Amino acid sequence: MAFAATVLTLYPEMFPGPLGQSLAGRALADGIWSLEAVQIRDFATDKHRSVDDTPAGGGAGMVMRADVLASAVDLVLERQRDAPMLAMTPRGEPLTQGLVREIASGPGISILCGRFEGIDERLFEARPIRPVSIGDYVLSGGETAAIALLDACVRLLPGVMGAPSSGEEESFEAGLLEYPHYTRPYEWEGRRIPEVLRSGDHAKIAAWRKQMAEADTRSRRPDLIERHGGARRRSPSGAQREDEG
């Protein structure tokens, strides 16, 4: 069965967007995954087809209505009973490679895209929806966040990535940023590729890469070091531990 993605949005024309190109686009055309964009406005009940209203307690902007969203959410939950539903919002838990892996290993995902100032909080109390954020910055809507999330999931689906091993060493898989990469020309603007990478000594290269990954993570992402202890936690077989991610 193909991985089934459903997006609930006020801007269905934004999909597939960039997901129609390159790796994800090819996988979509090949039927490895499917994508449906559901127009939230179709579930509005008044003559103006309104989906939002002014915030209770006052303040700027508009808030997405729980009743209208619930009608859209219920239809999608009914159609895709086994797929979890996320809502993209800066108020959500941070998206991690671990969560991406979890989603990609399941049957699919439904994603509610927030707009305006936010979503009426009662929707999250009343429906099984997990709020997720892609970072500590505010986008103009959840659609671009949904595209980022789907891109990260789709590339992990079986048959999507050219070389399966290229996913194993990449950033975050071992709680570290990935090591730096180099390619020809050997010398560019007076800078040479590190000699060790030309040595052909695979053990030495692996040790150098590990050292670089740890140094770069320490300087750029001390929060990752804090969280993972900076050590690669793989079993001798190379399998990841259950508690990782």
Q: Which residues lie near ligand ADE (CB under 6 A)?
A: 88-90, 114, 133-135, 137-139, 141-142, 145
Query: In the complex, what is the shortest distance from the CB of residue 81 to ligand ADE, in angstroms, rounded to a whole number?
Result: 25
**For residues 18 and 90, which CB has a smaller minimum distance to ligand ADE in the complex?**
90
Query: In the complex, what is the shortest distance from the CB of residue 32 to ligand ADE, in angstroms, rounded to a whole number?
Result: 25
Query: In the complex, what is the shortest distance from the CB of residue 94 to ligand ADE, in angstroms, rounded to a whole number?
Result: 9
**For residues 55 and 167, which CB has a smaller minimum distance to ligand ADE in the complex?**
55
- CB-neighbour burial class of residue 142 (10 A; exposed 0-12, middle 13-18, buried 19+): buried
**For residues 99 and 139, which CB has a smaller minimum distance to ligand ADE in the complex?**
139
Question: Which residues are bridge partners to 110 per DSSP?
Answer: 6, 85
Long-range contacts of 58-65 (CB under 8 A, 24+ apart): 59/117, 60/117, 61/116, 61/117, 62/116, 62/117, 63/116, 63/117, 63/118, 63/119, 63/120, 64/40, 64/114, 64/115, 64/116, 64/118, 64/119, 64/120, 65/120
**For residues 64 and 174, which CB has a smaller minimum distance to ligand ADE in the complex?**
64
Query: In the complex, what is the shortest distance from the CB of residue 15 to ligand ADE, in angstroms, rounded to a whole number?
Result: 15
